[in-house]
Amino acid sequence: MSFNLPNSWQWLPFEKLLAEPLRNGIYKKKEFHGRGCKIVNMGELFAHPRLKDGVEMKRVELNERELKKSTLKKGDLIFARRSLTAEGAGKCSIILSLDESTTFESSIIRARLNSDIANPEFYYYVFNSPFGKWLLGTILRQVAVAGITGSDLAKLEVPVPPKKTQDEIVVTGRLLDDKIELNRQTNQTLEQIAQTLFKSWFVDFEPTHAKIAANQAAQLRQQGQSDSEILSKIQQDPRWTSAQAAIIAQGNSEQAAIAALNGGQAFDTLSEAQQAQLKTTAALFPDTLVDSELGEIPEGWEASPLSSWGRIVCGKTPSKKKAEYYGGKIPFIKIPDMHGKMYAIETLDSLSQKGADTQKKKLVPEGSICVSCIATVGQVLITTEDSFTNQQINSIVPDQAIHSAYLYYSMLGLSNLLHDLASGGSTTLNLNTGNFSKIEIIRPKDEILEEFSSSVGNLMKQILENYRQDQNLEDIRCTLLPKLLSGELKFEAASEVG
């Protein structure tokens, strides 16, 4: 890969842009951990590419000399010095703000730039672009683990535009990043709403418990207890708000279930359509709990193995010796594609049609639930199109589309169980397909599953749309610098992108 730089740009060794030499992070024995200043570990570096204050971190005690030499400041770039994967080595994040003294671990390299000649955010964008990753790849060393060294990074030649140009490019990058961040925050809120609904219906069984409590209130009233005594008894249950308790105490099971569904909001303030919908949903929940293999569950529901919900598919990797099997448009999902995501929007690897044809029985269609079952266990993802996975992933292909959302949230809640089942005394976690298929989850009536799918459907559609918009914005951001370098895009046009 080569570029003819614009006339006002130049190539310089990275060390020429530094305010002080590169520094590796701190290593401290266990007795110094658990107190002191915050420490950025590899987890924070990968999870927070634009790291701001407020992030929870582990702590380590430093002496005065270490505090002076090994803390972070706003504008510092941090690089992953080593990684189990080539893609992770050299990963660059930037410190945008810190609320207290913070250091960094020994697997991280700190770069503190001279702000008179180099805008740190510009070089954050450089090293996170395909061009920058290619640059870092030229100094990648692959031994037991992939890695870069501070000495190689210091000598790495990087493009250096005029400072004014750097600043202008950063403005465009920030606009894109701010929109991406807003979408991510929106998605977190939407996902929390959907998870709260799932927990209320299928974990805590709140509508059923509300009906049971209302029926008990009616019985107590028949036995002569006063309204205040009944209300006081119901208020002792921490699951109910004051508004919900007041409705449940009236002894009407339908109204009680509605109160559980809508948080106790006054029914007559809702539209006719909302009232009708709540009545329909409330009627679907039983008013009795019964014993099952999974504990008490609503009457008429059952414990059901994953294999009863659809086809279980264990992925497979086509031969790496056949280059023609790869590089097409068919997603090939691996565990790194799953971290922190609900949907499979983009994958590091893809298959050609030839590659897909070698394993037709391994295809997982849109709406399938992928679950990581080897090494990193418990990651869950929904496919958005026909896809394939590697052998570390088991997928549930639901018999009915209305089951997809329920299965996704069910598997999210089974992280600890999946981990326990995968342990088996081995150093590497491994949950085989047979045991995965036998895992039992609660199976409500299809009418309730259809209602749940409808209730969270719009939320999940918006989440997916935000994911896709973020991917488009990231593509624009990542291709901005290469286009400027190649002359395909002039900065005047680039500044209009945001």
Sign of CA dihedral 210, 215, 219, 224: positive
The domain ranges of the chain are 10-161, 208-284, 304-445
pTM above 0.75, yes or no: yes
Residue 84's pLDDT is 61
Instruction: Render each residue's pLDDT in the chain as its tens digit; 498 residues.
Output: 556 777 888 999 999 999 999 999 999 998 999 999 999 998 899 888 999 998 999 999 999 999 999 999 999 999 999 776 656 788 999 999 999 999 999 999 999 999 999 999 999 999 998 889 899 999 988 766 778 999 999 999 999 999 999 998 899 889 999 999 999 999 999 999 999 999 999 999 999 999 999 999 999 999 999 999 999 999 999 999 999 999 999 999 999 999 999 988 888 888 999 999 999 999 999 999 999 999 999 999 999 999 999 999 999 999 989 999 999 999 999 998 998 899 999 898 999 999 999 999 999 999 999 999 998 899 999 999 999 999 999 999 999 999 999 999 999 999 999 999 988 656 678 999 999 999 999 999 999 999 999 999 999 999 999 999 999 998 888 887 777 766 566 655 445 544
Cβ contact 204:294 at 8 Å:
no
Cβ contact 307:443 at 8 Å:
no
- The H or E element spanning position 230 is helix 227-235
Query: How many whole angstroms separate alpha carbon 132 and alpha carbon 123?
Result: 9
Q: What kind of architecture, by CATH, is found in domain 10-161? A: Alpha-Beta Complex (3.90)
DSSP letters spanning 94-110: EE---SS-EEEBTTEEE
Q: Could you give the 3-state DSSP secondary structure of residue 296?
A: coil
Q: Check: CATH 3.40.50.1360 for 304-445?
A: no
Q: Could you give the 3-state DSSP secondary structure of residue 224?
A: coil
Q: Supply the angle between the helices 446-486 and 120-128 in degrees, to the nearest 10.
A: 110
Query: How many whole angstroms separate alpha carbon 260 and alpha carbon 245?
Result: 9
Residue 493's pLDDT is 47
Query: How many whole angstroms separate alpha carbon 167 and alpha carbon 123?
Result: 11
Residue 265's pLDDT is 83
DSSP letters spanning 326-392: EEEEEEEE-GGGTTT-SEE---SEEE-HHHHHTTGGG-B-TT-EEEE-BSS---EEEESSSBEE-TT
- Cβ–Cβ contacts within 10 Å for residue 323, how many? 10
Assigned token pair, 269:
């303030």
- Cβ–Cβ contacts within 10 Å for residue 288, how many? 12
Cβ contact 110:94 at 8 Å:
no
CA atoms within 13 A on the CB side of 461: 6
Within 71-224, residue ranges assigned H as helices are 120-128, 130-137, 150-155, 163-202, 206-222
Query: How many whole angstroms separate alpha carbon 395 and alpha carbon 366?
Result: 11
Query: How many whole angstroms separate alpha carbon 390 and alpha carbon 399?
Result: 22
Sign of CA dihedral 213, 216, 218, 223: negative
